[in-house]
Structure formats: C-alpha cells, structure tokens
C-alpha cells in the first residue's frame, strides 16, 4: 500500500529553520506531486503548497511565500519542506500527502490529494 513516512519531531528556536522529509514508497514517485498541509494545536488544516515531482514546479501559500521551499529527491523518492525564520505561529503538525495531478499538471482544478504521512510536530519555542 502507498506509504509516506515523515521525519521525526523537531524543536526549534525562533528565527531558526526546519526541514521536514517525506519518504514515499509503493508507487511511482514521479507520477504524482506532493502537497504539504499543517495544523496548529487545536486548529484546522492549513494548506502550505505543492511540488510537482516531474518538473519541480511549485505553488506556495501566500502566508508562507518567501519562507518556504519544497524540493524532491527522485533518486530516493523523498520530498522535503524547509521553513525559515520560524516563529511561535509555525508550531504545528506538518503533513505531506500524495497529490494526483490530472493530465500531469499540478495546476489543474480536478487535482486531489490522498495518503497523508503520519505528521511531524514542529515546536518553535525559546
């Protein structure tokens, strides 16, 4: 079955950076994109962005634009999400998910994502 296994919990100080990994297995990595979603404690889901694994196109949420970088390593079927200049507002569980990009384009309106990873708790505290 499709699996996305994320890296472990992180504790960071304000102003630092964090890089979360998401290793995919049991499907052809480059046939799907990867999207990232986060959830602050007791709050709802917040979309952060996506990356196409076939051409490295990216789309980021305006809220994190300029602070986030999403990358992939197709040789290891691993996606990465780096978030810089952390503040306490970035404390959250971060999820990666497989993104089905219709017709090979992650810009399509009919795209959807499934198979979330187990989540990675990032705590930002001084």
Partner 1 sequence: SYELTQPPSVSVSPGQTASVTCSADTLGDKYVSWFQQRPGQSPVLVIYQDNRRPSGIPDRFSGSNSGNTATLTISGAQAADEADYYCQVWDNSAGVFGGGTKLTVL
Reference 90, options 35, 22, 12, 36; nearest CA is 12
- The least CB distance from residue 105 to partner 1, in Å, is 9
- The least CB distance from residue 13 to partner 1, in Å, is 27
Supply 24's token pair: 């995919």
Contact positions vs partner 1 (CB under 8 A): 35, 37, 44-47, 50, 59, 61-62, 95, 97, 106-119
- The least CB distance from residue 110 to partner 1, in Å, is 5
What are the angstrom distances between the C-alpha of 79 and each of 44, 72, 84, 121? 23, 4, 17, 17
**CB closer to partner 1, 18 vs 106:** 106
**CB closer to partner 1, 29 vs 60:** 60
CA R_g for the chain: 14
């Amino acid at each position: 079955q499709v699996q996305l296994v994320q890296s472990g919990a992180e504790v960071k100080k304000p102003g630092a950076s964090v890089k979360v990994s998401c290793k995919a297995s049991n499907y052809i990595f480059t046939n799907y994109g990867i999207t990232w979603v986060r959830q602050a404690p007791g709050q709802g889901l917040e979309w952060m962005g996506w990356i196409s694994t076939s051409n490295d196109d990216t789309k980021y949420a305006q809220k994190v634009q300029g602070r986030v970088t999403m990358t992939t390593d197709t040789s290891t079927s691993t996606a990465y999400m780096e978030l810089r200049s952390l503040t306490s507002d970035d404390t959250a569980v971060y999820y990666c998910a497989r993104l089905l990009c219709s017709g090979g384009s992650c810009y399509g309106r009919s795209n959807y994502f499934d198979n979330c990873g187990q989540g990675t708790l990032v705590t930002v505290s001084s």
